[in-house]
Amino acid sequence: MELLGDYESWFSLWSLLCPGEEKRVGTRTVYVGNRPTSETDAFIAQKYCDNRIVSSKYTVWNFIPKNLFEQFRRIANFYFLIIFLVQAIVDTPTSPVTSGLPLFFVITVTAIKQGYEDWLRHRADREVNKSTVYIIENSKCVKKECEKIKVGDIVEVRDNETFPCDLILLSTSCGDGICTATTASLDGESNSKTYFAVRETASLCTDEAIDSLTATIECEQPQPDLYKFVGRMNIYTNQDIKARSLGPENLLLKGATLKNTRKIYGVAVYTGMETKMALNYQGKSQKRSAVEKSINAFLIVYLCILVSKATICTTLKYVWQSNPANDEPWYNLKTRKEKESFKILKIFTDFLSFMVLFNFIIPVSMYVTVEMQKFLGSFFISWDKEMYDEEIKEGALVNTSDLNEELGQVEYVFTDKTGTLTENTMEFIECCIDGHKYDDTVDGLSVIDGCGGSFGKAAKEKEELFLRALCLCHTVQIKKECQTDGLVSSPDNKCTYVSASPDEIALVNGAKKYGFTYMGIENDIMKIKNQRNELETYQLLHVLNFDPDRRRMSVLVKSHTGKIFLFCKGADSSMFPRVALEEIERIKVHVEQNALDGYRTLCVAFKELSQDEYDQMNKQLDEAKMALQDREEKLSKAFDDIEADMHLLGATAVEDRLQEQAAETIEALHAAGMKVWVLTGDKLETAKSTCYACRLFQNNTELLELTTKTLEEYQRKEDRLQELLLEYHRRLVQEAPKPKGGLKRSWSGSQDYGLIIDGSSLSLILSSGCSSSHYKNIFLQICQKCTAVLCCRMAPLQKAQIVKMVKNIKGNPITLSVGDGANDVSMILEAHVGIGIKGREGRQAARNSDYAVPKFKHLKKLLLVHGHLYYVRIAQLVQYFFYKNLCFILPQFLYQFFCGFSQQPLYDAAYLTMYNICFTSLPILAYSLLEQHINIETLIANPKLYMRISDNAMLQWWPFLYWTLLGAFEGLVFFFGVYLLFQNPALEGNGQVYGNWSFGTIVFTTLVFTVTLKLALDTRYWTWLNHLVIWGSLAFYVIFSIFWGGIIWPFLKQQRMYFVFSHMLTSVSVWLAIILLIVVGLYPEILLRLTKNIKAANQKEHPLSSCSLKPPAITLSLGVIKKVQLQLPMLISYRELENGYLSRLDGEEYNLNPLLSSLELYE
C-alpha cells in the first residue's frame, strides 16, 4: 500500500508538470514485458487484438451467401434472377434453363474469380501469421509463431528480418540505440531510415538485461498515418520514474526490414489488424468509367425496347383473339364467364411470358465478358517491355483494371514537378555565402552578385560557419556495418551517406567539396572534419524536424567550447520573415537568379544561444514532446519561438534534372488535345523555369500571372485579384474570336496563353462566399482557354481542390493526376484516373494510384497506345453485344405475328442458352484483347489520332443508333429471307415438308454466321488466336448442332430437334439461302467500307499515309477501271471535323490524310 501511495504521489506530481494530461482520452498503456511496475501491484493483462493479419474477405462458411448477396446487388444479375423465377413459377414458353444457365454461368465465373483472389489472400495471411519470431521470456529467447505475439511482449528481430508488428525500439546490438530499416513494403522508399532508442534503454543489449527493464509506454490509440506517432515511456528505477518522449523516430513499423544491424529489441505496442500497415489496407473509393455509364444508358434503351415488344405482343394477342374465328377451337369453347374471369391476371401473365421470351435482348453475358476483358487486358500493360525500367528493375503496375478504357478519354493531366517531371536526384551546383557566389571549384573562387562584377570572398568566419551548418543541419546517417563491439568509424574510410531526403545528401556532399566533411554521429556526438583536416565534435541537443507547413528544419548543437548554436535551413519564403531585412537583400538576388535557372534553393541561417536561453527553450521543447494531447500544435509553437531572430548566412542551389523525354511526353500530350497542369510546392521562379525546359510553356506563350508578387503592391489584394480575373476573362473569353464549328478541345485562336497561380492566390479565389463562387467560375473559364497552367506553392490539399474543381466543370471532363510522393496522394485519389510514379520519394503515390509507371515518359505510351486501344476495343465490345442480341431477338418478335402471338419460341432452348455463352462470346473477347486497328508505331508517332476517340466518341447516341439500325436490318433480312424461302415448304426433291424448328434453325444458323463474319470483317489485326476462336466458334456450332440433333436424349421429354440440322444440310436450297442471306446482311457494311476506301485511295499521298500500316487488303476489278488495291480504313471513329476534336489540325492536312479523314462508323 505504501508503494501504491508513492506511485499516486508520482502521478500527482506528473499531473502538475504536464497540466491537462489527466484528462486525456484515446490513449493506451503498455506494460513492457507484460510485467507490473512493482512487485506488490496486481497485474491484470489488458485485452488487445492478437497479431493475426486478416486481409481476406470471405471464410469457408460465409463465401456462398456473402458472394451471392454482393453479385445480386448488380441490377443486371437481379433482373435475370427475376426472369428465372418468373419462368420457374409462371407457365412461360421457354424453359427456366434458358435464362438460368447463362445466369448460373455468369455468377459461377465471377464467384470463381473472386474466390481465387480471396484464396491467394488467405495463403498470404497464413504465411505471415505462421512465420517464426523470437520473444524474450524469463531472460530467454523463445521461438514462437508470429500470430502469438501480444501487446507488451519484448521481441528480438535480426538483420534483414521483417518487423512482425509495430515495435518501440528499446536497444540494438551496437549499443548506441541506433538502427536503420527500409520501409519499401510500406511506402516503397528504398533509402534507409534511422530509428533511435531512448537513452535509458539503449545499453540493454542482452536478453537478461532487456528482461530486467521495468517500464510502461503511454501512446495514442492505433491510427493509419505512417509518419505520426505520439507517446512517452515511463522507466521505473529504484522508486524513481523517468519519462521520455516517443515519436515516429522510435516506432519500428510492421512490414519494414532491419538493415545493417545484427539484432534489435523492441516492445510490441500495436499488433495484428491494429498495426499501421493493416490500417492502411482500407480500399480506395470506387471509380466508375464513362463506358460503364454508357452501358447503363444503352441498357435502359434496350429495356424499353423489351417492354415495348412485350406490350405490343400482349395487346395484339388480345386484339387477334377478339375475332371468334381466331379464338379457342370449336372443341374447347369457353363460356363468357370463363373468358372474363381472371382476365387482368391472364393479361399480366401473358405480358410476363412475352418478357421472358424476349429477355435475351438484354446481354447478361456482356458483364462477365467486360470484366474478363478488363482483367486480362490489364496484363498487357504490366507485360509491356517498353514500360520496363532497367534502373529500378520494375515495369508498369495495374492496381485496378476497371479504368483501362478511361486512359483513352483523358482531357486534363495534372502533374507534380519534383520526382515526376524531374529525376529527384539532387546535385549540388553552387552556394552563396553572405552575398558571395561560390562556384564548383576547389579553391572556392567566388564572384559578387551585383553590378560591379568584382571578385571576392566572404569573411572566413562566415564561410566556415555556413559550411558547418551544412554539415550539421540534417538527418543524414553514415551507412556502415554494425559489428558486435559497436559502430566502427574511421575518418579514412569511404562512407556512404544515407538519408530519406536526396536534398540533404547533396548538401552534405556540397560541403565536402569545400573542405568540410561530415564524419557521422555516435552517442549524440556529431563529428566533422574541417578544411585544416582537424576533427570537430558537436553534441546534438535537439532536432527540429522538417514538415511541409514550416518548410524548414533546424538543429541545436553544442560545440566543444561550450557554445550553443541553432542552425536552420529551409525555403526562402519561410526563412526571410525570420531574419534581419538588411541580410535578405544580399542573398535574395542570388536566390531568385538560381530559381530562374531552374535550381532548387534553400536558405541557411543560424543564431547563438546563451545557456539561459537554451534552458528555457529546452524546457519548452521537453514539455511539448512529452504531451500526449495536441503534441503537434505544441511542438509547432515551440519551433516558431525557437526559430526566430536568426542571422542569414547564405543559400544553396541544387539541381534536379528533368526526367528523360519529359519534354517530348508533354508535347505529345498537348498534340493529343490534352491540357497539362503542373501542381507543385516549389517556388514560382524554379517551377516556371522547369515548365519552359519541359516545353509546357513555349517561347510564344503569353503568361498570365495571379501570384503574390502581382498582388503585394496593393493594400486590398482581393480587389486587385478580382480586377486581374476580369481583365484576363475579357481578353481570353469575351474578346477572343469564337472557334469555328464549336471546337471542344480548342484553345484561344492562334495565340497560346499560359496561366501561373500560387497557393495564396488560389485560397483567395476558393474562399467561401457568393462573390467568390462567381470569380471561381471566371477563373475556370480562363483556365479552359489556356494551353497550360502552372500552380506553384501548392499544399497537398490545394492540389486535390484544383482537380476536384476542374472535374466538376460543365461537361465533366476526364481528369488524370500523376505524382510520385505522399503529398500527391490526395490529388491522385481525387482524379478520375490516378497515375503513380515509382520514384525516389517513396511508393505512397504508386500504392494509392490506379496505375503506376517507372518514369513520366511512360505516360505517353500508356495513354496514346494502351488507352486508345483499350477504349476502341471495349467500345466495340459493348456495341457488338447489343447489336448481336438485337439480331437474335428481332426474328423471335416477328415470328409472333405469324403464330397468333402464341408465345411459340422460334429457336430451340439449347440455342437460346448457348448463343451468348458459347457460339458468339469467344470471338469478341479475343477481339477486345488483341485488336490493333492502327499499329502501335503510328499511334505513338501521331498523337492527334488520340483526339479522334475523345469525349467517348464511339459510345455516343449516333454510333449506338447506327449499330441498332444495323442489327434491326439484319434481323429483318434473316427472318423474311427464310420466310420467302419457305413459300415453297417442300425444299427437297422427295417433297418432304420442313417444320417450324427447321425454320428457326435456318434463321439461327444465318444469324451465328453473319454476326461472327461481321466481327471478322472488323478485325484489322489477325493473330492465330483470332483465327482459332472465329473459325473455331463456327465449327463448334456446326458440330454441336449435328451432335445435339443426332442423338435421342433420355432426359428430354420432347425430341423436337432430332435430325433437324442434319436434314437441313441436305437441301441445296437451304445452303444457297444461308449464303445469300449472309451476303445481303453484310452488304451495307461492305458497301460502306468500299466506298470510303475508294475515296481514300484517290486522296493525295500524305506523310501520315506512308506509315507502315498492315490492314487486310481487297483487290477489285471495276469494269473498265483498272484494278484498285483497297485497304480497309485504319481510323475507327464517328466524329467529323466540325465536332471540334481537331482543334490544332490544319484543314488541308486533315482532308489529305486518309488516317484522319476516315469518318467510318466503327461499328
Q: What is the pLDDT of residue 1148?
A: 41
Nearest to 913 by CA among 101, 69, 367, 209: 101
Q: What is the mean pLDDT of the chain?
A: 78
- Rounded to whole angstroms, how far apart are CA atoms 210 and 263? 13
Exactly one of 416, 820, 850, 908 is catalytic; which is it? 416
Res 253 pLDDT > 60: yes
Q: What is the pLDDT of residue 373?
A: 87
- Rounded to whole angstroms, how far apart are CA atoms 1038 and 1012? 13
Contact (CB, 8 A) for 718 and 772: no
Weakest mean pLDDT among 65-69, 89-93, 188-192, 400-404: 188-192
User: In 3-state terms, what secondary structure has residue 195?
Assistant: strand
| Helices 502-513, 460-472: inter-axial angle, 10-degree rounding | 150
- Rounded to whole angstroms, how far apart are CA atoms 1093 and 1097? 6
Contact (CB, 8 A) for 567 and 555: yes
Contact (CB, 8 A) for 471 and 528: yes
Res 1121 pLDDT > 70: no
- Rounded to whole angstroms, how far apart are CA atoms 233 and 525? 23
Res 890 pLDDT > 60: yes
Calculate ∠ Cα 412-418-423, nearest 5°: 110
Res 487 pLDDT > 60: no
Beta strands in 643-694 (DSSP E): 647-658, 675-679
Would you call 240 a catalytic residue per the annotation?
no
Res 19 pLDDT > 50: no
Nearest to 1029 by CA among 946, 933, 927: 927
Mean pLDDT over 221-242 rounds to 83
- Rounded to whole angstroms, how far apart are CA atoms 416 and 426? 17
Grid cell for residue 265:
529489441
Question: Residue 16: pLDDT band by 50, 70, 90 thresholds?
Answer: very low
**Residues paired with residue 132 on neighbouring β-strands, in sequence order:** 145
pLDDT digits (tens, 9 = 90+) for 652-661: 988 877 778 8
Res 203 pLDDT > 60: yes
Grid cell for residue 1048:
435421342
Q: What is the pLDDT of residue 1036?
A: 92
Q: What is the pLDDT of residue 556?
A: 92
Mean pLDDT over 436-450 rounds to 56
Q: What is the pLDDT of residue 127?
A: 86
User: In 3-state terms, what secondary structure has residue 572?
Assistant: helix
Mean pLDDT over 537-545 rounds to 88
Q: Which is higher by pLDDT, 332 or 1056?
A: 1056
Residues 6+ apart with CB under 8 A from 73: none
- Rounded to whole angstroms, how far apart are CA atoms 436 and 459? 10
- Rounded to whole angstroms, how far apart are CA atoms 684 and 417? 12
Whole-structure pTM value: 0.70
pLDDT digits (tens, 9 = 90+) for 936-984: 888 888 888 888 888 888 888 888 999 999 999 999 999 998 888 877 7
Nearest to 988 by CA among 998, 1000, 976: 998
Q: What is the pLDDT of residue 1055?
A: 66
pLDDT digits (tens, 9 = 90+) for 904-921: 888 888 888 888 888 888
